[in-house]
Homo-oligomer: A and B are copies of this chain.
């Protein structure tokens, strides 16, 4: 599982900082999460192929999370994209994008499929053989969802030495991977656990930005491997957090601790603080495993 941070600063794009966008690589997918202005240039800088992106998840309709989307969609068209593009976003974005395309008389040649989100409960919004994606309802000034990405439990792994010794026909390997006992060439029943090993532990990632401190999300993100939680402020500006519906680094750490997550990644920093390390210092007082997102940074988990 790999997390490419394209932008992780709040409010507006600046000379050296970008608004929210990130690409999660999980099980051969490249999921784009949020798409602030300039995301397409950040994708180029990090050498991520536009065609690899098939699903885009937009948390909410504040500009620093979505103003780059219409440009990315247009560029994909110029690059003669053919693959479908799925966009999971609050209701309203479809209207904005289609209006802009209509006015530019520029329709995409590929299929643009909007999945408009309106529910205030967590819901499954994407599923294939290997991955599930759920919304995480957040508490912000407009309708906002975080997203939970979960690998499914994979197949059991064959212990090839044991399999060969047990004289099992290759036709049964699939059954073994699925966890069944099988009959070998000698007519004996072979117990699955004697010839297979447990699958890799499925990984999970939760993206939570933008949000005020909200304990309701804890059961949804319980024990995720990685939690990206916004920390717009430090405790010294704690008064601003509930007013603007953002969180402090301490609050992000508190959520991480209560949800027993593996690693907490901080982001969505206000640019009023000169040095990012102050966010890590504050959060580390309350939770052990804290990482700092920064534009261009790539995490492997």
- State how many copies of this chain the complex holds: 2
Which of A94-102, A230-238, A275-283 contacts the other chain?
A94-102
A14 vs B40: C-alpha distance in the bound complex, in angstroms? 8
- Check B37–A15 contact: CB distance below 8 A: no
Contact among B12, B44, B100 with A63 in the assembled complex (CB-CB below 8 Å): B100
- Residues of the B chain whose Cβ atoms lie less than 8 Å from the Cβ of A93: 103
The chain B residue with its CB closest to the CB of A63 is B74
The chain B residue with its CB closest to the CB of A60 is B104
- Check A12–B95 contact: CB distance below 8 A: no
The chain B residue with its CB closest to the CB of A92 is B103
With A12-B71, A14-B41, A41-B13 as given contacts, are A61 and B103 in contact (CB-CB < 8 Å)? yes
A38 at the interface (CB under 8 A from B): yes
- Check B38–A106 contact: CB distance below 8 A: no
A256 vs B45: C-alpha distance in the bound complex, in angstroms? 38
Shortest beta-carbon distance, A259 to chain B, in Å? 29
A113 at the interface (CB under 8 A from B): no
- Residues of the B chain whose Cβ atoms lie less than 8 Å from the Cβ of A75: 11-12
**How would residues 12 to 29 of chain A score, 1 for a CB under 8 Å from any chain B CB and 0 otherwise?**
111100000000000000
A187 vs B11: C-alpha distance in the bound complex, in angstroms? 68
- Residues of the B chain whose Cβ atoms lie less than 8 Å from the Cβ of A40: 12-13, 37
- Check A142–B104 contact: CB distance below 8 A: yes
- Residues of the B chain whose Cβ atoms lie less than 8 Å from the Cβ of A37: 37-38, 40, 68, 71
Chain A residues close to B by CB (< 8 Å): 11-15, 37-38, 40-41, 44-45, 61-63, 67-68, 70-71, 74-75, 78, 90, 92-93, 95-96, 99-100, 103-106, 141-142
New contact pairs (12) apart from A13-B40, A95-B99, A96-B96, CB-CB < 8 Å:
A11-B75, A12-B71, A12-B75, A13-B41, A13-B71, A61-B100, A63-B74, A67-B67, A67-B70, A67-B100, A92-B99, A104-B142
